[in-house]
Amino acid sequence: PPHSIASPPFPAISRISPDASSSSPDQIPARAGSSNQLFCCCSLLRRQKEMMLYEIHSHAQIQDLQARSDELGHPEGIMGVDLVSLESVRIARESYALLCPLIKEFVFWGCPQLKNLSVVARLSLEIQMLEHDVLPQLKVQEAKLEQGALEALLLMKNSAIMLLHLRKRFMLALGVLLAEDDLVLARVKKLSIMLKDTADAVLKGDGNIAWLEERVLLLVQLVTNVLETPVRFYDPDEDDEKTYQPARGCCDEYFLGAWQTV
């Protein structure tokens, strides 16, 4: 049965930095009644464990967490992984491929931003498909607009729809305040609109070869801009109450394999 929030207080929370030494970390009292109490359904077990928080601001820190997983993932430890930011959209797919299996492996590990990372990883995968497959195909065949180019234009339209869908999901996850001036959202929207407009114009016969050549160059630049945009998942100064829940079954095995093919 569920346990009341009036139960005995929870243990102290230790914040762990990626370059933390072996000395004891600072202790921060856990707040009674906060959402930290929802870390897992095993409430009684959790009262006997120490809650550790690990903040991530880069892909290198995910790699560090993986390297230290044997040390930090011992049976007596509960780990809350806070994904604050990543250095680019491009690296997000690799970050997801590392972090999701890691969170899944340890019963008492949780990352509130893992689903949001999966959305950005899918954005990264979709845009890199444009970068490596679709746009180069248009560059080669733009002069003749043969079958390969027409297929590429249809893929562009499909990508535009998918990017807008993923953008909406990420916008809802960020919330109103962060979404207002988020660079990833703004650049993905701009790219999606140009992809659709370009494909529609050529397929309807409204754009000539010179026009398409110019648009492809602009699209290549937009794709690069989106992929190199830094990603923020939440503001740690404003969002100090998070739910740390185990991520069992969160990893899309098909996706984890697909990201390596781009």
Torsion on CA atoms 202, 207, 211, 212, rounded to nearest 10: 10
Q: Which has the closest alpha carbon to 22: 14, 10, 11?
A: 14
Backbone Cα Rg of the chain? 22
Name the amino acid, one letter, at 5: I
pTM equals 0.73
- Burial class of residue 64 (count of CB atoms within 10 Å of its CB; 0-12, 13-18, 19+): middle
Whole-number pLDDT of residue 109: 86
Per-residue pLDDT at 138 = 83
pLDDT value of position 77: 62
Q: What is the per-residue pLDDT for 247?
A: 44
pLDDT at 239: 54
Q: Please give the pLDDT value at position 40.
A: 39
Q: What is the pLDDT of residue 209?
A: 76
Q: At what angle do helices 147-174 and 114-129 cross, to 10 degrees?
A: 160
pLDDT of residue 74: 59
Segments of the chain with pLDDT less than 70: 1-50, 73-77, 140-148, 237-262
Strand order in the sheet with 50-56: 27-28, 13-16, 50-56, 77-83, 109-110
| Cα–Cα dist 243/229, whole Å | 27
Q: What is the DSSP string of 30-85?
A: PPTTSGGGGS-S-HHHHTTSEEEEEEE-SHHHHHHHHHTHHHH--TTEEEEEEE-E
- The pLDDT, as a whole number, for residue 177 is 83
3-state secondary structure at position 39: coil
Q: Quick one: tokens of 245? A: 């829940």
For the chain, give every domain's residue range.
13-113+233-261, 118-229
User: Which pLDDT score is estimated for 127?
Assistant: 97
Q: Which of 56, 97, 106 is nearest to 78 (CA)?
A: 106
Token duo for residue 82: 């806070």
pLDDT per residue as tens digits for the range 134-154: 998 887 654 456 666 788 889
Token pair 């970068």 is found at 131
So what's the pLDDT on residue 2? Answer: 39
Distance CA 14, CA 29 (A): 9
Q: Residue 45 is encoded by which pair of tokens?
A: 């077990």
Q: Residue 215 is encoded by which pair of tokens?
A: 């648009």
**What confidence score (pLDDT) does residue 246 get?**
46
